[in-house]
Amino acid sequence: MLIDSHVNLHGEQFAEDLEDVIQRARDAGIVRMLTICCQLTDFPEVSAIAERYDDIWCTIGAHPHHAKDKPDISSEELIEIAQHPRVVGIGETGLDFHYGYSPEADQFSSLKSHIEAARKTDLPLIIHTREADQAMGDLLEDEMGKGAFRLLMHCYTSGAELAHRTANLGAYFAASGIITFKKAENVREVFRDEVPDDRVIIETDCPYLAPVPHRGKRCEPSFLPHVADGLAKVKNWSREECEDRTTNAFFKLFDRVPRP
């Protein structure tokens, strides 16, 4: 029994064969999927998928790339949308200083509104961070001091220091297909040395980041067992132990998703 904690099923990459993609996931033992809203205007399409399939839930949020689209989004607006019965998380949100698609000030403003929404709804906050370790650590520590919220570091590839700082805040961490990449030893080291065994989950982030042996292909949820195998190797777990630990951690964090 596996849970794909981060899929992107809306949009053109799955437009032609979504039914087949979902059936392949089920055949591979994926019993729950969380489809992510990365752009506020996408929520109707994202939520429609979660409404259509009884093993899929969704989130509401704006990726830092899209923070510029509505940097003044309020926590109240996010909270209102989050009342949708299939919404179980806030995000994906965060800071991405690599591409600079949104000004840093807009990213900070949007992220703070998402944090407040997560705090008030008690829904997990799904964080994307890239080349922003110091700023992210400082902001999360400051915001946690204002009031607790639940935190997931999605597709974690940042450094050991940020992992240590956020783990001290109670964060969970998600391993993606990157953990299987030949040149990702630094990522494996962080998951081995800094990520708590009881606060790690897995994801595909499909259609991106297909794990070995599918690199270069469109990623899909049915590839998740390869991510599980990669994490199990890093943590020195059996496959069964990896499934049990990541599944239990998912349901502890996303406690509004019912177990099968």
pLDDT in tens, 47-61: 999 999 999 999 999
Which tens digits make up the pLDDT trace of 204-218? Answer: 999 999 999 999 999
Q: Tokens representing 63?
A: 């990726």
**Strand order from edge to edge, sheet including 172-175:** 2-7, 30-35, 56-60, 87-96, 125-130, 151-153, 172-175, 200-202
CA distances from 4 to 35, 79, 97, 166, 184 (A): 9, 24, 27, 22, 21
pLDDT at 11: 87
Q: Tokens representing 125?
A: 């906050």
pLDDT at 196: 98
Cβ 212 vs Cβ 226: under 8 Å: yes
Which tens digits make up the pLDDT trace of 135-186? Answer: 999 999 999 999 999 999 999 999 999 999 999 999 999 999 999 999 999 9
Cβ 175 vs Cβ 230: under 8 Å: yes
- 220-233 average pLDDT score: 98
Q: Which domains does the chain have, with CATH numbers?
A: 2-253 (3.20.20.140)
pLDDT at 260 > cutoff 90: yes
What pTM, to 2 d.p., does this model score? 0.97
At residue 204, φ and ψ (nearest 5 deg) are -105, -25
